[in-house]
Chain A
Amino acid sequence: MNLLSTQFELLSLPFELTTNDRKFFNEFIKLNSALVSPPNGHAPVVKYSVIKNTRYFSIRENGRFRLRTTQRWPLYIYVMMGVRDSLYLHVKDYLFLHSGAIARGRKALLLPGPSGSGKSTLTLALLNYGYKYITDEVTVITPSSLEVMPFQRPIYLYEWLPPVSSTVKENFCLHRCKERWRKTIQPWQFVFPQGEAVLPKHSRFEVEWIIFPRYNETQKGSHLRPMGKAEAVFTLMQRYWNIPSLRDWGLKACSEMVKRAECYRLETGDLREACELVQGLMGRVSGKVEAGVLDNIWQRKKFM
């Protein structure tokens, strides 16, 4: 059995992945190219193994069995969920928010929301307007300055609907996979930055805007409404991944961040309208968005 192994660091926490599946290994390296840092000589704290036998893949974390699956396509997601949980457990110095983030210059927009709120699709769609991609799903905030750090994990969507124009495709890789899931074929899409879109790990962004998106398929028209600061703190606090470990300083940090930012609630059922409202707030960077790219992506999904 040929084992392939890689070591990497995330927020200075050293990891190791070992597998005997070359296809998964290559995919893992490719998808994480903008996210991880090279090893810094420290012994790995968390070790994952993904071993394929004749019937299934077994995922182990530090030798302990975690999961078994017959499919290859969810392996990356399962391993990265484990990596994410390890960060919350071992790295106590940062706030981790369930949020997407983009930036214009040094000013960041956070898009916090639960699964299904449309934040990943919106984060991806806003890249068409020339904004920088900071992160999706996990937003990392530094505790002292309350700035956002790049955490450029792939944006993954359940469909093959790339709401991106050709200019975005120059700096982002669209990795599509299609695998059998029970009796259906499941299309997945991972979008991750490359070239100029990869941000230096030391870059930091001030939180200037916080928008809580809410996708509603029956929504007629899109609305961006200012939120009260207390309501924003309350809503944002529910989007912390590592709230139990924050204790005394989490609420203070959160309210300080909200006080400095403009906070809005976005209700929308139309992606283009949502993007234009956000662009009106953040200002235009560039971007001729090609016709048809954003036209009701959410509506189209239902008919596929």
Chain B
Amino acid sequence: MQRFNKRVDLLVEKIDEEIVIYDPQTHHIHHLNPMATIVWELCDVSQSPQEITRELTDTLKADPAQVEKDVSETLDQFHKKGLIE
């Protein structure tokens, strides 16, 4: 089962349902849209992409296949940008 470990050194600010992250190692700044913000927050409590998808599908009453695709792409982006390990 896949776990998500957010990097502990990141500086995170939540503003109006969106998140801005500052990476002190690379000095890069990241802006998460509302969907990515929800996925980011669910990374704290969920154990796998499937769990995040299930949680989001229940909350948003959205098409599970579309949610799964979005979650997968978002997590990929988090990995690529080095926000989760």
Contact = CB atoms under 8 A, between A and B. Distances in A.
Interface stretch (B16-24, B38-46, B47-55, B67-75): B16-24
B32 to A, nearest CB: 8
Interface in A223-254: 228-231, 233-234, 237-238, 243-244, 247-248, 250-252
B15 A255 contact: yes
Tell me the dominant secondary structure on chain B's binding face: strand
A228 B31 CA distance: 11
Contacts of B29: 234, 237-238
A258 interface: yes
B31 A251 contact: no
Contacts of A234: 20, 29-31
Given A237-B29, A252-B13, A255-B13, A230 B19 contact: yes
Nearest to A256: B13
Contacts of A255: 13, 15, 20
B35 interface: no
Interface string B61-79: 0000000000000000000
Contacts of B20: 230, 233-234, 237, 251, 255
Contacts of B18: 228-231
Residue among A228, A234, A258 with the highest chain B CB neighbour number at 10 A: A234
A254 to B, nearest CB: 8
A258 B29 CA distance: 16
A259 interface: yes
Given A237-B29, A244-B27, A250-B22, A230 B16 contact: yes
Given A233-B20, A237-B20, A251 B27 contact: no
Contact of B15 (A243, A248, A259): A259
22 contacts: A228-B16, A228-B18, A229-B15, A230-B15, A230-B18, A230-B19, A230-B20, A230-B31, A231-B31, A233-B13, A233-B20, A233-B31, A234-B29, A244-B27, A248-B24, A251-B11, A251-B13, A252-B11, A255-B13, A255-B15, A258-B15, A259-B15
Interface of B: 11, 13, 15-16, 18-20, 22, 24, 27, 29-31
Given A228-B16, A230-B16, A230-B19, 17 more contacts: A229-B16, A230-B15, A233-B13, A233-B15, A234-B20, A234-B29, A234-B30, A234-B31, A237-B22, A237-B29, A244-B27, A248-B11, A250-B22, A251-B13, A251-B20, A252-B13, A255-B15
